[in-house]
Amino acid sequence: MNKKYILNAIVIIGEICSGKSSVAKEISRQLGYTIISFGAYVNYLCEIKNIPPTRENKQNLGAQLVAENPIRFLKNATSYSTGDVDSPSVIFEGVRHLSILNSIREIAQEVMIIFLDYDFETRYSRYLSREKLEDSFQTRSYFEEKCSHLVESEIREMQSFSNLTVSSEDFDENIKAITQFLTTSY
């Protein structure tokens, strides 16, 4: 594929409950980029296919779509979020597969990868404080099981490709570091 559909792509990567959505929303608010959420797209597919939107079902459906055709999955998620495949500047939130990261590199002129790095206990604490229906079980063993799902297995490996890793417990400090990095990099 030779055509670059996207001018600037910010890729937010992190394990479950690392704050990907919160960071993407704030960066979008500050920089005006459109958020491409793979989770939102998979939720939509679950809805139209009448698949119960449990975390496991979404992880399995997303993995299946990525395995079948990562570029098509990427383009469909982009189109779902923006209404069009061609978008000047976007934030890809929730990248969990190397094949998707590589596909983003194929369709974007500039790619900046931000990795949110938090230990298990911090993420589990965030999990307990969330109010998502899919997290209503809220047991440590359930959280451990979801964190060890095959879909989550490539996330740590992708940290080595990141342009910036943030790990401060202070959300505002992370946002400041990310926006400073992005405004000086683009």
- The answer on pLDDT for 2 being more than 60 is no
Q: Which domains does the chain have, with CATH numbers?
A: 6-168 (3.40.50.300)
pLDDT in tens, 120-159: 999 999 888 877 656 566 788 988 988 998 888 899 999 9
Mean predicted lDDT score pLDDT of the chain: 88
Burial 30-59 (b: 16+ CB within 10 A, else e): ebebbbbbbbbbbebbbeeeeeebebeebb
Percent of the chain with pLDDT over 90: 59
pLDDT given for residue 82 in this prediction: 79
pLDDT in tens, 82-128: 776 555 889 999 899 999 999 999 889 999 999 999 999 999 998 88
Average pLDDT, integer, range 48-58: 90
Put the strands of the sheet holding 108-116 in their side by side order. Answer: 34-37, 87-93, 6-14, 108-116, 164-166
Three-state DSSP string of the chain: CCCCCEEEEEEEEECCCCCHHHHHHHHHHHHCCEEEEHHHHHHHHHHHCCCCCCHHHHHHHHHHHHHHCHHHHHHHHHHHHHCCCCEEEEEEECCCCHHHHHHHHHHEEEEEEEEECCCHHHHHHHHHHCCCHHHCCCCHHHHHHHHCCHHHCCHHHHHHHCCEEECCCCHHHHHHHHHHHHHHHC
Report d(CA 153, CA 149) in Å as an integer: 7
Report d(CA 91, CA 94) in Å as an integer: 10
Tokens of 30: 């500050």
pLDDT given for residue 1 in this prediction: 45
pLDDT given for residue 5 in this prediction: 73
Give the alpha-carbon dihedral of 62, 68, 70, 72, to 10 degrees: -100
- The answer on pLDDT for 65 being more than 60 is yes
